[in-house]
Amino acid sequence: MEHKTSFLGDYQESRTLAQQIAKNHIAPDAPERDLNHTFPSECIRILGETGFMGLIVSEDHGGFGAGRVGFTSVVEEISKACASTALVLVSHAIVTKAIELAADKTVAKRWLSDMVKGHSLGAFAVHEPDSGSNAGAITTRAVKDGDLYIVNGSKFFITSAGEADLYLVLVRTASEKSPQGMSTILIEKDNPGLAFGRLENKMGLTSTSSREMFFNDCRVPSKNLIGKESEGSQVIGQTVVGWGFFGAAAISAGIANLTKELSIKHAKERMIAGQPIGVHQAVQFMISDMILGYEASESLLMSCAAKADASPDTAAINGFKAKLFASEVAVDATHKAIQVLGGHGYCRDYVVERLFRDARGLMLHFKTSEWLRQDIAKAALGL
Ligand SMILES: Cc1cc2nc3c(=O)[nH]c(=O)nc-3n(C[C@H](O)[C@H](O)[C@H](O)COP(=O)(O)OP(=O)(O)OC[C@H]3O[C@@H](n4cnc5c(N)ncnc54)[C@H](O)[C@@H]3O)c2cc1C
């Protein structure tokens, strides 16, 4: 398959390509993957062939070199077909960005070209059982020992864990319990001392494979450090926050878009006593909320992405706004869609049921809505 195109031209071209691939190759088996909790390996292979696994890697390194506007456009189209596949892609993109920004040259050479082609998959591991939403309180430790770091601790709910080949792991390298004492390091799947927990039986995003990760005297080459010691917060800021939040917002926007389309279709086709249910004002109100919700979240996302592309220093606050709004719109839209579809909407045979379960996870992942509301208000208040 030869689909590779460039973001140097109109990003709409790449969005259209993503739309075609999503419709033809990703959407058809999405219900089955959801039901069987099957990891979307075949979708990743196809996205690798198209170059989308290197979506935000620079063209110098064989990627598309997309900015956030291009990134979110493609992720939204893929999410419209399968939110789980889109989340696996976003997690992977975060790791490629970290490698490109600050990895040792030999490490970058070893991994980037394979990752761009989708031959190797990346995942990021920040969250821990005891620190929860507060990444600054992590306790997984990496202690320097000659040319190695010895890593001990655990991570929780990690997307693609056990499937990905390379993990961007946030660790504590200094004794003080502060964000300043944290670093990021790449750990390979087969690294001795790394083990994976059972597959989490999640409500939605079921084909993403979430697992716990355990580091038990895991000896990692020190050249795998991303950036310098104590730069972990900055690395996470430039990757998970700077790009991942836009990816999460785009996943939610894709869900809201499909939800709206399916609800309109159903309201036109479902006949009761000789009339389509769409003639009723109560149904029209729900559809109208879905249309406005989607359009508002898409506009906010694109405007926040464009602002962050123009001034990367504003990426965090723009990503927070886009993610908070889009994730809540998607939950509201999918909730209403089940109402529009009635009993059908509550059955696995209809896509909106999956969309509802998938949308709900995005209000938790990356940062919960509560933390985002606090962050946005604190930025405005100068706190
Ligand atoms: C589908 C999915 C995929 C994920 N993938 C990854 C991944 O790939 N990598 C990764 O590192 N992590 C991943 N996570 C973890 C995710 O980042 C965390 O679930 C999230 O940060 C919330 O942490 P928690 O689940 O421990 O909730 P908790 O921290 O236990 O929070 C529970 C509740 O308390 C509230 N709360 C907690 N502290 C405060 C506070 N100070 N102020 C106000 N309210 C507060 C929260 O908002 C929430 O409502 C994933 C999670 C999900 C659901």
Position 168 pLDDT exceeds 60: yes
The CB of 91 under 6 Å from ligand 1? The reply is yes
Q: Which residue has the tokens 């190759």?
A: 25
Quote the tokens at residue 201: 């039986």
The CB of 364 under 6 Å from ligand 1? The reply is yes
Superfamily of domain 233-381: Butyryl-CoA Dehydrogenase, subunit A, domain 3 (1.20.140.10)
The CB of 133 under 6 Å from ligand 1? The reply is yes
pLDDT tens track for 245-294: 999 999 999 999 999 999 999 999 999 999 999 999 999 999 999 999 99
Higher pLDDT, 101 or 11: 101
Spell out the CATH class of 11-120: mainly alpha
Q: Where does CATH 1.20.140.10 sit in the chain? A: 233-381
Contact between 94 and 105 under an 8 Å Cβ cutoff? The reply is no
Among residues 25, 142, 143, 131, the alpha carbon closest in space to that of 78 is found at: 25
pLDDT tens track for 68-104: 999 999 999 999 999 999 999 999 999 999 999 999 9
pTM for the full predicted model: 0.97
Position 3 pLDDT exceeds 90: no
Please give the share of the chain, as a percent, with pLDDT higher than 70: 97
Quote the tokens at residue 98: 């970290």
Q: Residue 21 Cα, ligand 1 centroid: separation in angstroms?
A: 32
Q: How confident is the model at residue 10 (pLDDT cuts 50, 70, 90)?
A: low
Burial of 383 (0-12, 13-18, 19+ CB in 10 A): exposed
Q: Which long-range contacts (CB under 8 A, 24 or more apart) does 126-134 make?
A: 126/155, 126/170, 126/236, 126/240, 127/155, 127/156, 127/157, 127/158, 128/153, 128/154, 128/155, 128/156, 129/154, 129/156, 129/212, 133/367, 133/368, 133/371
Q: Where does CATH 2.40.110.10 sit in the chain? A: 123-230
Work out the number of other CB atoms within 10 angstroms of the CB of residue 330: 32
Q: Where does CATH 1.10.540.10 sit in the chain? A: 11-120
Return the residue whose CA atom lies nearest to atom 24 of ligand 1: 132
Return the residue whose CA atom lies nearest to atom 6 of ligand 1: 158
Contacts of 284 (CB under 8 A, 6+ apart): 278
Contact between 47 and 21 under an 8 Å Cβ cutoff? The reply is yes
The CB of 14 under 6 Å from ligand 1? The reply is no
Q: How confident is the model at residue 326 (pLDDT cuts 50, 70, 90)?
A: very high
Contact between 49 and 369 under an 8 Å Cβ cutoff? The reply is no
Q: How confident is the model at residue 13 (pLDDT cuts 50, 70, 90)?
A: confident
| Residue 132 falls in which region: left (phi positive, over 0), alpha (psi -120 to 50) or beta | left
How high is the pLDDT of residue 2?
A: 37
How high is the pLDDT of residue 8?
A: 40
- What's the mean per-residue pLDDT of the chain? 95
Quote the tokens at residue 232: 């972990």
Contact between 268 and 278 under an 8 Å Cβ cutoff? The reply is yes
Position 321 pLDDT exceeds 70: yes
How high is the pLDDT of residue 174?
A: 87
How high is the pLDDT of residue 297?
A: 98
How high is the pLDDT of residue 179?
A: 75
Is it true that domain 123-230 has CATH number 1.10.10.10?
A: no
**How far apart, in whole angstroms, are the C-alpha atoms of residue 251 and residue 73?**
10
Pairing type for strands 141-145 and 122-125 reads unpaired
Q: Residue 181 Cα, ligand 1 centroid: separation in angstroms?
A: 21
Position 175 pLDDT exceeds 90: no
The CB of 159 under 6 Å from ligand 1? The reply is yes
Return the residue whose CA atom lies nearest to atom 21 of ligand 1: 133
Lowest-pLDDT range, 9-18, 40-49, 157-166? 9-18
The CB of 19 under 6 Å from ligand 1? The reply is no
The DSSP result for 255-304, as a single string, is HHHHHHHHHHHHHHH-EETTEEGGGSHHHHHHHHHHHHHHHHHHHHHHHH
The CB of 125 under 6 Å from ligand 1? The reply is yes
**How far apart, in whole angstroms, are the C-alpha atoms of residue 278 and residue 171?**
54
Q: Which residue has the tokens 């979307």?
A: 40
Pairing type for strands 166-172 and 148-159 reads unpaired
Q: Which atom of ligand 1 is nearest to the CA of 170?
A: 11
Q: Which atom of ligand 1 is nearest to the CA of 202?
A: 1
Average pLDDT over residues 179-192: 94
Q: Which of 364, 366, 371, 372 to mutate to test the pocket of ligand 1 (most atoms within 8 A of CB)?
A: 364
**How far apart, in whole angstroms, are the C-alpha atoms of residue 102 and residue 186?**
11
Q: Which residue has the tokens 């929860």?
A: 132
The amino acid present at 144, given as its one-letter code, is K
The amino acid present at 255, given as its one-letter code, is I
